[in-house]
Structure 1
Amino acid sequence: MHRRTETPPALFALAQSQGGLVSVAQHREHGLTDASVRGLVRRREWHRPTSGVLDLRTPPPAGLSVFDHARRRAAWLALLAYGPDAISVGACALVLHGVEGAPLRLRAEAALPRASDRTSRHGIALRQFDDGLETVMIDGRRVASIPWALAQAVPELPRSRGLAVLDSALYRKKLDAVGLERAHDLARGRRGVATRHDLWELADSRSESPFESSTRLECVEEGIPPDVLQLPLVDADGREISRGDAGWRKRDGRWLVAELDGREVHDTPEAVFRDRTRQNLWVSTGAVDVLRFTPRDAGSIAPAIRRALRR
């Protein structure tokens, strides 16, 4: 009978900060032998996603959703797989910067200063190092700066995701208007950017979630852009009682407000109660019509708003 191998608490904490992953060098630094790790993998307590990387199957840290944990895992998988010289780039870099809007299934990718003689493996993309690439240090690893990461990611992402990461970078104050323009300049000439130039013009710091960004883009592309984002709603005494995610002025002077309920924001009982109370306050003003949408409504939101505006 084999003696059970205990994971050192410090190694467990390190893995949690790296999307559940550690490198071979890191487990050795924390006192685990290669033989004990092989036993953990054999018993399926740990998993080896690629050579030199171990998945400890840790739960997400407190306050981090399972979706964001999975995104961080992809970013760290690429960094650990290609060693200490690897640089996080593109959408993976944006995730490490704390920018929202990256796809749920994020492709692991990294760059090396001299990657021409290396190849991608196990679905982990190895990119050619960009001349002049600017990096910052995050958790001890080199990560493409926000302007460079946006320039790399937006041309390759679906349009809705591209706008979402631009909006999020502005909303979270990761860059300003000058930085946004620089990111656009860095993106010029990249494959895919020809159909993304307008996203830089549409980017808006008032969009507070990826769902708000994708809905706004859907409406813009259908010819009914919102008149206002984060519409202040006031009561009879002129006091602000809430804000609507997006608003359209109707022909009769009333407002049509779209409430965009992203799953990670509105799915607790407390949040549902607050949303219902807020909607009741809006309707009680007599000047507002409210439509509520969730991500499942994507693709049908603009037609619903168009119908409501015609009524």
Structure 2
Amino acid sequence: MERQQVIRGVAARQGGVVTRQQALGAGFSRHEIDNLVAFGRWRRLSRAAYLIEPAATGGGQRLSRIRAAVLSLGPHAHAVLATAAELHGIGGFSRTGAIHVALPGRVARPARVKEPAVVLHQLEHAAEALTVIGGVPVTTAVRTVAELILRERRYPAVALLDSALNRGVISEDELLSLPALMRGRRGVVAARGYIAEANGLAQSPLETRTRLRCVDGGVRPDALQIEVRDSDGYLLGIGDLGWRAGRLIAEADGRTPHAAPDALFNDRRRQNRLTNAGWTILRFTWPDTLTPDYIPSVVRRALTTRALRRS
């Protein structure tokens, strides 16, 4: 009974996950551990880590798998790169399901990873570059962003910078500190350019991609999250991207936020108010951002049409 209490205490501190070594230390034999797994009492999550509490679902299950992968690789292991960004709640890049774990070079070399979903990196971080999220050791948000944008292409790099700023995961001061963290690293010149393009007003990766397409196409918006008010100061609506002189707004319509019936209803009423106030509304979706010329050409035509009407 005592060993059950011990192992449950360990699991409680680690989100229901324990390692094989911890179970052995609590008094379980290898045979007993294998039987607990075989009879479904414990669920194997990685090479030598088990979920001993009721199975989590959704995001909780994903966190349990990350925790198991990190714990199974010993006390020096910690989550990095895309997995660290996931734990910090940073968006903007595609998720593959892989779990990125770092170990110092002297430890990583003999480590064997049997789980195909675990990607091991020979990286070493000082204590001040690490934090803990959900019981998982992980690089700090600013360190995570610095290391990711060195590896990402421009669009996902700027999108993850926008996401980190918009969600308050990193501050403006931390954004400015990124070049120092990346100094001397491969890819730092391009990364400095990504930092210069970051804007925390962007509320989704789609907004970031739409903005970058406009910038690349020579029709840079002069406002993000632009507020439109009537003569009495009443707020008619807020547009994702705006061109004030042309009284033009571009909306980046993501699938999830705009799919619910209430969201569709509100979007239409807001668009009607803005249209009646003399604004032109364009709407773009993710597939529109995949063709470089499409969004800027539509914006340019709308601005040209507006200019001709005024002349």
Do both proteins adopt the same fold according to a TM-score greater than 0.5, normalized to the shorter chain?
A: yes
Report the Cα distance in structure 2 between the residues aligned to 1:36 and 1:75, rounded to whole angstroms.
21
Cα RMSD over matched residues?
3.3
2:281 to 269, 290, 309: 290
Q: CA deviation at 1:59?
A: 3.1
More helix by share: 2
The correspondence of residues 1-311 of structure 1 with structure 2, limited to 5 A, is: 22-25=17-20, 33-40=33-40, 50-53=46-49, 58-60=56-58, 75-76=66-67, 78-113=69-104, 114-118=107-111, 121=114, 122-132=116-126, 134-249=129-244, 253-286=245-278, 288-299=279-290, 300-311=294-305
Report the Cα distance in structure 2 between the residues aligned to 1:293 and 1:247, rounded to whole angstroms.
13
Report the Cα distance in structure 2 between the residues aligned to 1:23 and 1:103, rounded to whole angstroms.
30
Secondary structure at the counterpart of residue 262 of structure 1: coil
Report the Cα distance in structure 2 between the residues aligned to 1:33 and 1:77, rounded to whole angstroms.
16
CA gap 1:116/1:169 in 2 versus in 1, 3 angstroms: same
1:66-86 Cα shifts (integer Å, max 9, x gaps): xxx76x577446424424431
Report the Cα distance in structure 2 between the residues aligned to 1:246 and 1:137, rounded to whole angstroms.
36
CA gap 1:132/1:84 in 2 versus in 1, 3 angstroms: closer
Report the Cα distance in structure 1 between the residues aligned to 2:22 and 2:57, rounded to whole angstroms.
18
Q: Which amino acid aligns with 1:108?
A: I
Report the Cα distance in structure 2 between the residues aligned to 1:26 and 1:308, rounded to whole angstroms.
65
Report the Cα distance in structure 2 between the residues aligned to 1:199 and 1:159, rounded to whole angstroms.
6
Report the Cα distance in structure 2 between the residues aligned to 1:97 and 1:224, rounded to whole angstroms.
33
Q: Which amino acid aligns with 1:207?
A: A
Secondary structure at the counterpart of residue 304 of structure 1: helix
Report how many aligned residue pairs link the two structures.
282
Q: CA deviation at 1:301?
A: 2.4
CA gap 1:107/1:157 in 2 versus in 1, 3 angstroms: farther
Residue 74 of structure 1 contacts residue 92 of structure 1 at CA under 8 Å; is this kept in 2? no
Following TM superposition, where does structure 1 have runs of at least 4 consecutive aligned residues deviating by more than 6 angstroms?
A: none
Report the Cα distance in structure 2 between the residues aligned to 1:110 and 1:131, rounded to whole angstroms.
12
Structure 1 counterpart of 2:5: none
Q: Which has the larger radius of gyration?
A: 2
Q: CA deviation at 1:119?
A: 5.2
Report the Cα distance in structure 2 between the residues aligned to 1:304 and 1:120, rounded to whole angstroms.
50
Q: Which amino acid aligns with 1:117?
A: P
Give the TM-score taking structure 2 as reference length: 0.77
Secondary structure at the counterpart of residue 37 of structure 1: helix
Residue 45 of structure 2 contacts residue 69 of structure 2 at CA under 8 Å; is this kept in 1? no
Q: Which amino acid aligns with 1:35?
A: N
CA gap 1:270/1:26 in 2 versus in 1, 3 angstroms: farther
Q: CA deviation at 1:280?
A: 1.0
Q: CA deviation at 1:292?
A: 0.9
1:18-44 Cα shifts (integer Å, max 9, x gaps): 7xx945549968x99532422449xxx
Q: CA deviation at 1:271?
A: 1.0
* Structure 2: stretches of 5+ with no match in the other structure: 1-7, 306-311
How many percent of aligned residue pairs carry the same amino acid?
33
Residue 47 of structure 2 contacts residue 113 of structure 2 at CA under 8 Å; is this kept in 1? no
Report the Cα distance in structure 1 between the residues aligned to 2:103 and 2:58, rounded to whole angstroms.
28
Q: CA deviation at 1:57?
A: 7.1
